[in-house]
Structure formats: C-alpha cells, structure tokens
Amino acid sequence: MKSYFDQIVKAHDNLGRRGMTNYGSSNVLWLQPPFATIAAHELVIYLIPAGTTLVTNGKLQQGRPPGQHDGNTNFLIPNSPPPGTTAGSEVFPNFPSTPQGLKLVASLMFHEAMHNKLALTNRQLHPQLGLASGPPETAAITDTMALTNSNINAMAASLDIARPQWTAGLSLLTQAVNVPDSDPMKGNW
C-alpha cells in the first residue's frame, strides 16, 4: 500500500500546483485505539472477514461480497452524521498470507481507495484498467496486475480533495473484538 501511495504522492508533488501542500511521502498505518482524527484528505479502508459488511448500512452485519470484487465502497450510509456525505470502504482479505495473497489484498485496498477518493461507480472506474479494473466491466484484480500511470495520475490529481471518511466503524469493530468468548451473542452478527 505504501509503495502504491508513495507513487501517488510523488506524482501529486510533481504537479507543483501553487499553494498546494507537498506531502513528500505517504503515511499508511494500522489504526488502533485510541483512534486519531482522520483528516478530510485521508482515507480509511476496513479489513473485515468475508461474509460480513460494515459499510453497506453503517453497521456490522452479515453481507455478501459482490461477485469477484472482494471489496465494497459506499457513500450513502444513512446513520452516519451528516447523512450521505461520508465514504466507507471495506475489503475482505480472504486470501493466503503468501506474498501473492498479500499483494492482492493491497491491490484490492487500493482499488477501493480509488472508488472512495474519486467518487466513481463501478461503471465509471473499472474501464480505467490497471488497479481500477473490476467486474462486470473489466477483469477482476489479480496479484499480477500493476498500478498504471493513468491510475497514478487520476489519484494524484484528486489527492487534496476532501472526502470525509465514515469512521464509526472503528468503534463498531473494537466493540465486536472485545465481546468475550463466553458471550452467547459472539459470532451472531
């Protein structure tokens, strides 16, 4: 993820727009409580088990990943304030912890980051190919697919756009993890 986003930041800084922040390099990290404030230009991607969803309705519930698209981005979470304005992205890291599997998860996270940051639907994003690829418009992302110059330029041009992230999922996941194993509700969501 960092190697992907460092290329975006470099391209962004090279645009040299007047008055624009030069970021230098990207900052990719795992969030842990207590959670820092997420700036409007930053992105949050949730990694959650396949068979669940957070961003569909803004709560942790059973869900089905879209076909051959092991991630999901939603802009219309009704119960997050203010309604309909925050972006939530999730990826189901349902792959072996091999170099190929981990690269695929990072590429899927980048793909959802593109939906999120660029505010593009499947039909708008997937024909851009590279890590923008996705069914049904184009091929599903594989571990051999690469970030393209057009992917880099699209993200670099939008890096400063404020895209408030849906962060309520952070506390929802923390609560779910903290349910004791003895609680009969555990595993029922």
Residues at the interface with Zn ion (CB under 5 A): 134
Minimum distance of Zn ion from residue 48's CB (angstroms) = 17
Instruction: Let me know: does 158 contact 36? Beta carbons within 8 Å.
Output: no
Closer to Zn ion by Cβ: residue 130 or 134:
134
**Angstrom distances, CA of residue 179 to CA of 1, 174, 184, 189:** 30, 9, 10, 12
Closer to Zn ion by Cβ: residue 12 or 69:
69
Closer to Zn ion by Cβ: residue 80 or 107:
107
Bridge-based pairing state of the strands 61-62 and 71-74:
unpaired
Minimum distance of Zn ion from residue 83's CB (angstroms) = 24
Enter the tokens of residue 161: 């756009």
User: Which position's Cβ is nearest Zn ion?
Assistant: 134
Q: Which of 157, 45, 105, 114 is nearest to 129 (CA)?
A: 114
Closer to Zn ion by Cβ: residue 13 or 148:
148
Minimum distance of Zn ion from residue 92's CB (angstroms) = 13
